[in-house]
Structure 1
Amino acid sequence: MIGAARPSAVSAPPGSTAPAAPDRWALAAGAVPALVVLVMWPGLENPFLTPKAVLAVLGGLGLAAAVAFGGLRGGRVHRPRGVLLVVVAAHAAALVTAAAAHERPLLATVGHAGRHLGLAVALAALVLLLAAIVAGRRAPLTAIAPLLVAAIPAIGYAIVQAIGADPFPWALVEGGPPVFAFLGNTNFFSGWLGIVAPLGVWAALASTASTARAGAGAIAAAALVVAALSGSLQGVVAGGLAAAVVLVGGAALLRGARAARRVGLLVVAALLGSALAGVTTGAWASARVSLANRFEIWEVALRIVADHPWRGVGLAGFRGHFAAYQAAESAAARGLDRIADSPHSVPLDLLVSGGAPLLVTWLALVGLVAHALVRTWRRGGTADRLRTLGLGAAGAAYLAQAAVSLDVAPLAVTGALVAGLALGGTPGPPDPLVSLRAPAGLVRAAGAVVLALVAAVGVAATLPWRADVHAAQAARAGEQNIAVEGYARAASLAPWEPSHASRLGGAHVASGDLEAGLRAYEEAVRRDPRAVAAHLNIGRLAVALDAPERADAAYARAVVLHPRTGRVLAEAGRHALERDRPQEAADLLERSLAVGDEDPERWRDLAAALEAAGESDAAEAARSRARASE
């Protein structure tokens, strides 16, 4: 069910006054992605995507509540037409099924820390899509206004970063210029700007106020230039082409109006500036390296799909299966610390997560959006066609970044807004009405309860973050007892999150309580059975606590999870050697060396294992290799 009663036409009849409610609804729908883009929480382990994911979910809940209670208050709601309703329901069902297929459905619902590519954000994006359909019928330009306004501080902050004046001491974990504004990653930021640019050109061409035209055009131009400064080309290429399509098509529709020419000059200047910025920042060379890395990840994803074509491995399941499917060369290059947490391609991610059903329902939804755009172009007037150009180009820019990147919360909700506006803009008869009846007092009371519940969820979501931040500060100050208390509180408040339990284990070990540390790492493994670092820590602590059987099980599981990672194989091999299993140790150490890690210490360990196994000649050869590799 979406929205309260609305007019059946795209525009109000001549001479009439448009109601205020549609504009408020459009602003509410557009405000969700705008706020998601801007929110961050310095001091968190991930100060960007974690609060964005929570706000996206809260925004989805708030919009759903507004739709329901608005419909109850008005006595009726508009139901999407049959095909759209079936496709959305099928996609939602496929998402739920994919989450249930994960070893830990709760983890699949929330998603791994740092990305949160889980069920909650995906369903929130679907709710926003449905809400945006109403805005698309009423005031689509109003709906994108918050997004364009949000681009102003985002672009401004990116410029501050580009000139090296960032007030926050962020620690970069990836290469490239530190130009990522509020998204924490240059590729995400560039991809988002690539969606904003064509929307800005559309707003500049379609707006009636000269100030709005100038502002939207300037935002579009600045978005392209700053996207290039980020060092990531995906937003420059997709956004530049999309903006050019809107400009050329819009100029033709408006028959060369002066507004179109002014916007054109801005966009052409931005494209030239983007090209120069791309060259000076080395973005073109960086793009080649980035694509090579993605090809490697895509190969792993296709191997997983070959083994799990219909059910997938569950939402957020790629990370746990990556190491078992990666090639030996990749394992040697990446080691234990560079595990890909997503296929870096939305279609591939859907296929890996939920198999063919999840991908097919998503493609069906994309097809419905494309059909709506074509239908609007054929049946609408100049304003409708201009809107089709803007939303179609922005949607194409979203799909372009989705093909080579992740659907993190800010990108997911922005894409959902664009898709919903496109679906809602089709001229034609109104959607079917569904009558609702409820006492006014009951509606108000229920609305208050739901809003209070949404607020409570928002506050509750911050509790583990605050506990984690407090614990991290205590750990840095050497106050391990306070750190233990903080991490324990965070772990209890977020029972799905393995990272809190792992950090609790580290704090216990730092304070000297090895048994408590072992229990904490075992809890981390219970929450995420594929957390290989926790398995290795269990093995080490079990050895220190003279619990060899527990260590055996932990190292055996680590080898299953990472069969081609040299560091894991070598540590398991040393443990087998200490447990007087020389043949097993030799096999593991040989495998660790075979993946390309020429470590003299491993050669010496292999020599000891071979000597203990009675293979003296092979042991001497291993010692020779150790001397040669020093």
Structure 2
Amino acid sequence: MSGRNSAKRTLRAAKRQPKSRGSRAVSAAVGWREIALALACVEIAIFVLVLDPSVRDVFDLPKATFTHALAWVLLGVLVVVALVDGVRVPVSPLFLAFYAMLATELLTTATATNQYVAVFGEVGRYLGLTTHAVLALVAITIALATDYPRRAAWLAWTVAGIAVAASAYAIAQALGADPITWVDLDSKARPFATLGNPDFYGQFLSVVVIASAAALVFAGAALGRLRWAVAALGAESAVLMVIVATRGSVIGVIAGLLVIGVLWLRRTGASRRALSRLAGAGAALVVALAVVVFATPLGGRLFALADSPEVSGRILIYQAAARIFADHPVLGAGFENFAVVYPQYEEAEGLKNNRTQTSAHSWLFHTAATTGIVGLVSLAALLIAFAVHAWRRARDADAAALLTATAAIAAYYGSGLVLPGAQSIQWIPWACVGIALASDLRTARVIARTPTFRLAGLARLVIVVGLTGAAFLQLTSLNANRLAKVAETSLRAETAPRAVTAARLATTTDPGRAIYWNDLGRALELVDDQAAARSAYLEATARSPYTAAFWWNLGRMHLYFAERGDGTAKNAAYETMRRAIAAAPQNPDTFDQFARIQLALEDLGGALESSQKAIALYPGEPKYYTVAGDAARRQGDVAKSLQFLRQGVANTDSNDLRLTFARRLIEASQFAEARAVLQEALRQDPANAAAADLLKQIEGR
């Protein structure tokens, strides 16, 4: 009895004793790590949930801006952790592959065709080196602060929370209750939640479905009653995935389920019973896929693949990416430089849409085109090292989080084979890699270690607050984009001064973006300040020489001054259009714009040649034939002019072109053919008053 009382007294005395400095330091370091992990979780939530309808780029720029701003706070916390705990440099196949990936991104940024785009990303995507630095910071934070597997649940709760929040908005969209009116998107037909695009949301949902399934398979018993919540989340995400109908998500789910099956066999052992259970699960999967294919909107989109113009468009993009890779095999065109070089490689059929492709719509083609063999090898090394680590640890009792991350990254890359990347989903592989690094950190060999420092609490706060100050600088880009939206929506005569003011402020706030200078030029044209407009277009082309439309605007300004006697403007206009052709050699609209400039300057032979090139590249555009016909007519070759218009009507079946053709036929006194052309126009459009009037004019002739 006395022994027990003595032990109790000793225990009470130990509790009363103050903690040693060492234990308090450890406790403080743990607290700072928890703060870092909480900030990383907030970063992930921002990537998925943040949007701002008041700006021009509603989704990606707000996500990039706020994650970049918060990254400064996160960096400050990590600096404190590094000073207090010291920095260890772990080495293992997985860590070496991670270092190689970071080095590859730095190297291909340094060698990029356009380094500004490599660093900051292209407009509408913003996935340059700055964003990847944030993603790397998130991965490193997860590796350092998760204390695997202790805090892995923090990430699970974060992903579950943002999935539920995004799904609430998606359901509202599907029910037609979207509080925001979208100009170019139908949120009811294919909900996109807070991610900005149905393809992005579908890819995200495929990852959530697989992560939920993996958690149930590998941690079902440990979850207890939570497994019902996990199952409900997976089921809800699967239903939404079918509604959103992103075809690539099917590939992601299949890839993820295959990985789950392989890892489950590794974990349980390939016994006869396990194989039979796996076969049963496979059969159930086949049945489920059959139901999806034959009885859901997603299946309808899968069946429509054969005739879908999207498929032919994707093939054109893949072919262009392959040619970029062939011309830049080692380091690619440069990190995130796909949009920079893409116009030089795409066929006219794709370029006719005049839309810059910022992504190859496939991580495989995008990586090859932008980072070459070096990028492909480094990414492959990282994924292989990840898979090997998961395979080796699959039988560990605490491997559930690692195995879930492995299945999730398989779903991401599976669906990403045919989908573009974006701010809202690009964090997924980095978070998964962070979990793998956290798991590997426990046993990885440390080759270097920095000394620790004893920092006062005030010093720690000063470090964090000091770096937090840089966060406010990130908000300027969002303000510039908001001003750009004001300028864009004010581009009409009655509000032109407002557009000029907003556009000027946008270029002052964020002078690096070419689109803002182009908008300023358009606004200045409306207030008849053509000289300033020309200067603005010069700034736009200097920043984005790969965008043909900016060269067209500059060429049009040079034409304006050439028509008013500026002796140097004609040569400047011609040189500008040659630069436009060099930027996009297969773009038919560039040749059409050049033809119009040449026609205005009485270079009829040049106009005819340029318009014929436009027609050869894309025979389906009526306006090309109009310019060619005008050039030939003004040369005095009426027969050739009529032949161009005749060919255009045959190739385009355009009623507007029929009316132009009929007028030229009437001028040439070819009334019989004119009558036939007008009758066909009225057959297609009985209410066409212009055709009826022309037909009445030649009645009896």
If the TM-score is normalised by the length of the shorter chain, which range does it land in? 0.7 to 0.9
Q: 1:121 aligns with which of 99, 119, 131?
A: 131
Match of 2:664? Answer: none
Larger displacement relative to structure 2 (464-473 or 444-453): 464-473
Q: 1:419 aligns with which of 429, 433, 444?
A: 433
Q: 1:483 aligns with which of 477, 487, 499?
A: 499
Q: Please tell me whether the aligned partners of residues 517 and 540 of structure 2 are also in contact (alpha carbons under 8 angstroms).
A: yes
Match of 2:236? Answer: 222
Match of 2:610? Answer: 588
Distance 1:307 1:41 in 2: 39
Larger displacement relative to structure 2 (37-46 or 600-609): 600-609
Match of 2:347? Answer: 327
1:402 corresponds to 2:416: yes
Match of 2:27? Answer: none
Q: 1:101 aligns with which of 97, 101, 111?
A: 111
Alpha-carbon spacing, 1:535–1:425, altered in 2? closer, same or farther (3 Å)? same
Q: 1:557 aligns with which of 553, 557, 579?
A: 579
Q: TM-score, normalised by structure 2?
A: 0.77
Q: Please tell me whether the aligned partners of residues 517 and 539 of structure 2 are also in contact (alpha carbons under 8 angstroms).
A: yes
Q: Please tell me whether the aligned partners of residues 56 and 409 of structure 1 are also in contact (alpha carbons under 8 angstroms).
A: no
Paired residue type of 1:398: Y
Distance 1:141 1:335 in 2: 49
**RMSD across aligned positions (CA):** 3.6
Alpha-carbon spacing, 1:273–1:159, altered in 2? closer, same or farther (3 Å)? farther
Q: Tell me the alpha carbon deviations over residues 296-349 of structure 1, each in whole angstroms, 9 at most, x when there is no partner.
A: 211111111111112322233222322321234x24xx5142332211112321
Match of 1:79? Answer: 89
Alpha-carbon spacing, 1:209–1:300, altered in 2? closer, same or farther (3 Å)? closer
Match of 1:447? Answer: 464
Match of 1:183? Answer: 195
Larger displacement relative to structure 2 (42-51 or 96-105): 96-105
Distance 2:385 2:379 in 1: 10
Paired residue type of 2:334: G
Q: How does 1:425-440 map to 2 (within 5 A)?
A: 425-426=439-440, 429=443, 432=446, 433-437=449-453, 439-440=455-456
Distance 1:252 1:357 in 2: 32
Q: Please tell me whether the aligned partners of residues 242 and 393 of structure 1 are also in contact (alpha carbons under 8 angstroms).
A: yes
Distance 2:383 2:258 in 1: 22
Displacement of 1:275 in angstroms is 5.1
Paired residue type of 1:177: A
Paired residue type of 1:219: L
Structure 2 residue runs of 5 or longer lacking an equivalent are: 1-21, 24-29, 563-568, 652-657, 659-701
Please identify the structure whose Cα radius of gyration is greater: 2
Match of 1:36? Answer: 47
Q: Please tell me whether the aligned partners of residues 373 and 423 of structure 1 are also in contact (alpha carbons under 8 angstroms).
A: no
Match of 1:171? Answer: 183
1:351 corresponds to 2:368: yes
Match of 1:459? Answer: 475
Paired residue type of 1:64: L
1:151 corresponds to 2:171: no
Match of 1:524? Answer: 540
2:296 match: secondary structure: helix
Q: Tell me the alpha carbon deviations over residues 139-185 of structure 1, each in whole angstroms, 9 at most, x when there is no partner.
A: 22222210111000111111111121111101235899331101111
Alpha-carbon spacing, 1:136–1:49, altered in 2? closer, same or farther (3 Å)? farther
Match of 1:133? Answer: 143
Q: 2:551 aligns with which of 523, 535, 539?
A: 535
Q: Tell me the alpha carbon deviations over residues 460-479 of structure 1, each in whole angstroms, 9 at most, x when there is no partner.
A: 34321332344445557943
Alpha-carbon spacing, 1:388–1:277, altered in 2? closer, same or farther (3 Å)? farther
Q: Please tell me whether the aligned partners of residues 395 and 418 of structure 1 are also in contact (alpha carbons under 8 angstroms).
A: yes
Larger displacement relative to structure 2 (368-377 or 81-90): 81-90
Alpha-carbon spacing, 1:525–1:427, altered in 2? closer, same or farther (3 Å)? closer
Distance 2:163 2:291 in 1: 18
1:568 corresponds to 2:586: no
2:87 match: secondary structure: strand
2:361 match: secondary structure: coil
Distance 2:415 2:176 in 1: 27
2:357 match: secondary structure: coil
Distance 2:328 2:265 in 1: 49
Alpha-carbon spacing, 1:394–1:531, altered in 2? closer, same or farther (3 Å)? same
Q: Please tell me whether the aligned partners of residues 490 and 499 of structure 2 are also in contact (alpha carbons under 8 angstroms).
A: yes
Distance 2:70 2:184 in 1: 29
Displacement of 1:497 in angstroms is 0.9
Larger displacement relative to structure 2 (149-158 or 421-430): 421-430
Q: Please tell me whether the aligned partners of residues 113 and 340 of structure 2 are also in contact (alpha carbons under 8 angstroms).
A: no
Q: Please tell me whether the aligned partners of residues 248 and 417 of structure 2 are also in contact (alpha carbons under 8 angstroms).
A: no
Paired residue type of 1:284: L
Distance 2:290 2:634 in 1: 68
1:79 match: secondary structure: strand
Alpha-carbon spacing, 1:541–1:376, altered in 2? closer, same or farther (3 Å)? same
Match of 2:302? Answer: 284
Q: Please tell me whether the aligned partners of residues 534 and 557 of structure 2 are also in contact (alpha carbons under 8 angstroms).
A: yes
Distance 2:603 2:35 in 1: 71
Paired residue type of 2:56: E
Displacement of 1:515 in angstroms is 2.0
Alpha-carbon spacing, 1:488–1:188, altered in 2? closer, same or farther (3 Å)? same
Distance 1:424 1:157 in 2: 33
Q: Please tell me whether the aligned partners of residues 221 and 270 of structure 1 are also in contact (alpha carbons under 8 angstroms).
A: no
Match of 2:62? Answer: 51
Distance 1:245 1:91 in 2: 23
Q: 1:294 aligns with which of 302, 314, 317?
A: 314
Match of 1:360? Answer: 377
1:90 corresponds to 2:100: yes
Match of 1:13? Answer: none
Q: Please tell me whether the aligned partners of residues 502 and 524 of structure 1 are also in contact (alpha carbons under 8 angstroms).
A: yes
1:80 match: secondary structure: strand
Q: Please tell me whether the aligned partners of residues 108 and 335 of structure 2 are also in contact (alpha carbons under 8 angstroms).
A: yes
1:479 match: secondary structure: helix
Q: Tell me the alpha carbon deviations over residues 420-453 of structure 1, each in whole angstroms, 9 at most, x when there is no partner.
A: 1023224853653542325435443222201222
Paired residue type of 1:568: T
Distance 2:300 2:134 in 1: 37
